[in-house]
Amino acid sequence: MTSTAARSISDAELDEIFTPIYERIAAGAVDRETDRRLAYDEVGWLRTARFGALRVPVEYGGFGAGVRQLFRQLIELAAAESNLPQALRVHWVFVEDQLSAETGPRRDHWLRAVAEGTLVGNAITEPGVGAVDRYRTRLTPDGNGWLLNGVKYYSTGSLYADHILVAADRAGDRVAVLVDANAAGVRQHDDWDGFGQRLTASGTTEFTDVAVHEEQILGPGYGAAGPTYATAYLQLIQLAVLAGIAQRAERDVREWVAQRTRGYTHSAADLPRHDPLVQQIIGRLSAAAFSARATVLAVAELLDEVLAAGVKDEKALVEVELAAAQAQLAVIDTVLPATSELFDVGGASITSERLRLDRHWRNARTVSVHNPAIQKARAIGDHLLNGADLPFAWSAGERTSGASRAATE
C-alpha cells in the first residue's frame, strides 16, 4: 500500500486556508510565553481548519497534500508558534502509518477520524528507562480485554490530543496502544520544566487500570527493529521547528531595528537600520532562515519519494535517515548562532521582557538537544567509515555494526 496521496491541492491554496490562522496564532505568542498559557484555543483553530488532515487523501475528507507540502506548512506554523509543530509531532507519523497500512476498516476509520479533526499525541518515553526494550508500562489481561498501567513523561502534545499513542509491554512484546485521552484512569500533567518549548504539553501521563480493547492495539509501534521512515520524519519535524524559529527571529528583529531611532555615539550611522554592522546581522539572520528552510524541504522531498514508493526499500530508508541526520547537524549549527547573535543589533533594550526575543534562542536550544547532535555526528561518521547501522528507533541490543554483521554472514 503506497502512503502518498494524490497531489490535489496547491501550496497557494493551502496558504490561503492556513496563513490567516498562523497570523492569528502569532499575534498571541509573546503573551502565551509570558503567562505560560497552553495553546488550547490555537490548537482548536487548527483542528477546526482540519490542519491535522493535510496528508489524508481527499477521498477520506483530507487535503491530499504531499510530504514536502506538509513540511512547508509546519515551518510556517513554527514561525507563528514554535511549540505547535512539535506538539503535533507524533500525530503526523500516526497518519503516515495509516496511509502505509493495508486497506481495511481500521485504516479507513482512522483516516476519516483524522479528516474530521481528531489529533493524536504520544506517551512513549519513560522516566529512568533508556531503551525501548525496558518499558515498565504494561498491558495485562482483563477478561476479554486488557488493562494498561504505567507512567510516561515527555508526553508531547497529549494535552492537546483526542487520543494518545502509548508504547507498552505485553507479555514481553512491545506494542502501540491508542488510548482515548479522556478515558477513565488517564491523568495528564503539564509539568515539563524545560526553559524552552514550554507550551508543547510535554508533561507526565499516568495510566491506572485503563481499559483497552483489542482493536486499540495497533502493532509493534515505536521501537520495532529495522530501518523505518519514522525516525527521519520525527527528526525533520524538529528541524522544521528550528527553521520556523529562525524565520520568526529574523522578522521580529528586523521590525524592531526598522522602528528604532536610538543608536550609539560611536556607531557608523545615526539610525540603526543604516548601520552596516546591524545590516550585516540582519543579513546573516535572513541567510540562516533561508538555509534552514531549504534544508528541511530538501529532505522532505526525499521522504516524499520514499513514502510514494512504499516503506519496504531498506536502502532508500537508510538514505533518507542519513540525509535527515546530516540536515540535523547543519540546521542546528546554523540556527543556534543566529538566534544568539540577534541581540548584537541593540543594547540592553533588546533584552526587554516585553519583547521576549530570548524565547527564540531558548526554544531553538531546547529543540536542538532532542536526539543529541554529538551522538548523531558520531553515528554518521561510523556509518560512512565502517558501514555501521544508523540509529533508527530501536534498542541498543538490536543494533548491529557493519563489522559485526559482516562477521556473521
pLDDT digits (tens, 9 = 90+) for 270-327: 898 999 999 999 999 999 999 999 999 999 999 999 999 888 899 999 999 999 999 9
Q: Same domain, yes or no, for 250 and 166?
A: no
Domain end among 200, 220, 240:
220
Q: Examine residue 404 and state whether it is found in any structural domain, yes or no.
A: no
d(CA 239, CA 325): 10
Inter-residue contact 55 to 95 (CB < 8 Å): yes
Average pLDDT, the chain: 91
Residue 144 has pLDDT above 80, yes or no: yes
Q: Which domain holds residue 208?
A: 123-220
pLDDT at 382: 96
Q: Same domain, yes or no, for 188 and 62?
A: no
User: Up-side HSE of residue 202: CA atoms within 13 Å toward CB?
Assistant: 24
Q: Same domain, yes or no, for 271 and 374?
A: yes
pLDDT at 226: 78
In the three-class reduction of DSSP (H, G, I as helix; E, B as strand; rest coil), residue 37 is classed as coil
Percent of the chain's residues with pLDDT above 90: 79
Q: Same domain, yes or no, for 254 and 296?
A: yes
pLDDT tier for residue 174 given thresholds of 50, 70 and 90: confident
Cell of 328: 540535523
pLDDT at 224: 64
Q: Same domain, yes or no, for 246 and 378?
A: yes
* CATH value at residue 108: 1.10.540.10
Q: Examine residue 331 and state whether it is found in any structural domain, yes or no.
A: yes
* CATH value at residue 183: 2.40.110.10
Residue 136 has pLDDT above 80, yes or no: yes
Q: Same domain, yes or no, for 367 and 270?
A: yes
Q: Residue 192: which of 40, 89, 94, 87 has the closest Cα? A: 87
Q: Residue 207: which of 136, 274, 109, 293 has the closest Cα? A: 136
Q: Same domain, yes or no, for 104 and 234?
A: no
pLDDT at 4: 43
Q: Same domain, yes or no, for 345 and 246?
A: yes
pLDDT at 133: 61
Q: Examine residue 20 and state whether it is found in any structural domain, yes or no.
A: yes
pTM of the model: 0.93
- Please count the structural domains in the chain: 3
d(CA 114, CA 47): 9
Residue 376 has pLDDT above 50, yes or no: yes
Q: What integer is the mean pLDDT of 172-197? A: 95
